[in-house]
């Protein structure tokens, strides 16, 4: 048996206008010889066969890399975007082995790189389609996909750093694509997000998932105390109002000091957001009260364990919202109470629609 492994495919720039796509094949069985045709995307031009290389790799603890597996009969059909070759595995063991095949190519419209590519691998009578997404232009679409069904480029890293404002614009779509609740730390600097259209949609989506799951997916929000920061009074009031709204619609709201969150995370100005079990977001400079200093978010796909550990530690050190309000004499004036009532009602109405 021989088949490609989609999520291990990678596309990287090698030099100048030359790029390479690395295909990883799983080879199993006592004896195997397969003729393979790789049809590249229409936006890719395969290069001459003499610069195609191959190597064996180990992709897991049980895999065996074997130099005895060989590529032969390599041929390139530039007009039809095809590269043809044969993989031969002699009579050895039944254990799975993995082989990486590198194909050099150029982009048709370089330096422009497409948003996505479609690679077709033909193995005998079977056909496999590998879908690649450019994470520079299709980040949210990439994060929504199952990790094993596709690959991403220009590199195969699962870590992406983008401005926090881009997260705000797409957080609802990202949240809706994941199973489970959203657990997050929120800072006073983020208060404007909760009053924005994006923030409203995000709250409605979270509320809807919470009530349709009978409370199973209750959102958790750990607010950083503005009194432990240099936050002005207007920001502080708006921040408290936003947290009160979320508390009244049923979210689990806690509070923590900036010093404690720094002790838990081992670094100041760091925030953690978890979307279900698939995406972890670390936000840097989020505690900075200077609006001129940009905040960047680092997204890590399919690895939430570290973020979950940090979050649970902060959560255990946090204080219930009601206790915090009583301790810090947080009260709302009549006009603020009217806004809070209207806001929570709107979230419930739109969240149920």
Q: How far apart are CA 178 and CA 5, in angstroms?
A: 23
State which CATH number among 3.40.50.300, 3.40.50.720, 3.30.870.10, 3.10.129.10 fits the domain covering 159-352.
Answer: 3.30.870.10
Summarize pLDDT for 169-189 with one digit per residue, the tens. 778 877 777 767 778 888 888
The architecture that CATH gives domain 2-138 is: Sandwich (2.60)
In the DSSP assignment, the letter for residue 340 is H
In terms of C-beta distances under 8 Å and separation of at least 24 residues, what long-range contacts does 52-55 make, across chains too? Answer: 52/76, 52/83, 52/85, 52/101, 52/102, 52/103, 52/104, 53/102, 54/99, 54/100, 54/101, 54/102, 55/99, 55/100, 55/102
Contact 335, 237 (CB under 8 A): no
Angle, alpha carbons 182-188-191 (nearest 5°): 70
State the span(s) of the chain assigned CATH 2.60.40.2430.
2-138
Domain with CATH 3.30.870.10 in the chain: 159-352
The pLDDT of residue 139 is 61
pLDDT tens digits, 119-177: 999 998 899 999 888 876 666 666 666 556 678 787 656 566 667 777 777 788 777 77
C-beta of residue 38 within 8 angstroms of C-beta of residue 119: yes
Mean pLDDT by 10 residues, the chain (353 residues): 84 89 82 84 81 42 43 77 81 69 91 90 92 73 62 67 73 76 84 92 93 88 90 93 97 94 72 61 56 57 67 92 97 97 96 84
Contact by Cβ (8 Å): 30, 2 = no
Q: In what order do the strands lie in the sheet with 70-77?
A: 70-77, 82-89, 32-39, 116-123, 126-134, 150-153
């Amino acid at each position: 048996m021989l088949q490609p492994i989609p999520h291990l495919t990678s596309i990287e720039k090698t030099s100048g206008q030359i790029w390479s796509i690395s295909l990883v094949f799983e080879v199993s069985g006592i004896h195997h010889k397969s003729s393979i045709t790789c049809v590249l995307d229409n936006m890719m031009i395969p290069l001459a066969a003499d610069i195609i290389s191959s190597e064996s790799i180990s992709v897991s603890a049980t895999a065996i890399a074997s130099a005895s597996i060989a590529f032969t009969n390599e041929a390139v059909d530039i007009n039809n975007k095809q590269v043809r070759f044969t993989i031969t595995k002699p009579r050895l063991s039944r254990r799975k082995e993995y082989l990486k095949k590198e194909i050099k190519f150029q982009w048709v419209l370089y330096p422009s790189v497409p948003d996505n590519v479609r690679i077709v691998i033909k193995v005998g009578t079977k056909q496999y389609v590998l879908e690649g997404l450019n994470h520079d232009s299709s980040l949210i679409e990439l994060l929504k996909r199952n990790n094993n069904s596709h690959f991403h480029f220009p590199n195969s890293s699962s870590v992406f750093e983008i401005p926090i404002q881009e997260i705000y614009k797409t957080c609802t779509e990202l949240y809706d694509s994941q199973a489970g609740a959203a657990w997050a730390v929120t800072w006073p600097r983020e208060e404007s997000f909760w009053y924005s259209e994006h923030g409203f949609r995000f709250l409605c989506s979270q509320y809807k998932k919470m009530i349709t799951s009978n409370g199973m997916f209750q959102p958790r929000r750990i607010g950083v105390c503005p009194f432990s920061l240099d936050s002005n009074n207007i920001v502080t009031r708006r921040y408290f109002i936003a947290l009160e709204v979320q508390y009244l619609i049923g979210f689990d709201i806690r509070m923590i000091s900036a010093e404690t969150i720094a002790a838990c995370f081992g670094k100041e100005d760091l925030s953690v957001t978890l979307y279900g079990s698939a995406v972890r977001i670390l936000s840097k400079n989020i505690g900075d009260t200077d609006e001129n200093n940009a905040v960047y978010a680092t997204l890590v796909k399919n690895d939430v364990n570290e973020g979950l550990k940090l979050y649970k530690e902060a959560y255990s050190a946090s204080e219930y919202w009601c206790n915090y309000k009583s301790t810090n004499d947080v009260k709302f004036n009549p006009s603020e109470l009217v806004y809070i009532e209207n806001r929570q009602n709107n979230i419930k109405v739109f969240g149920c629609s």
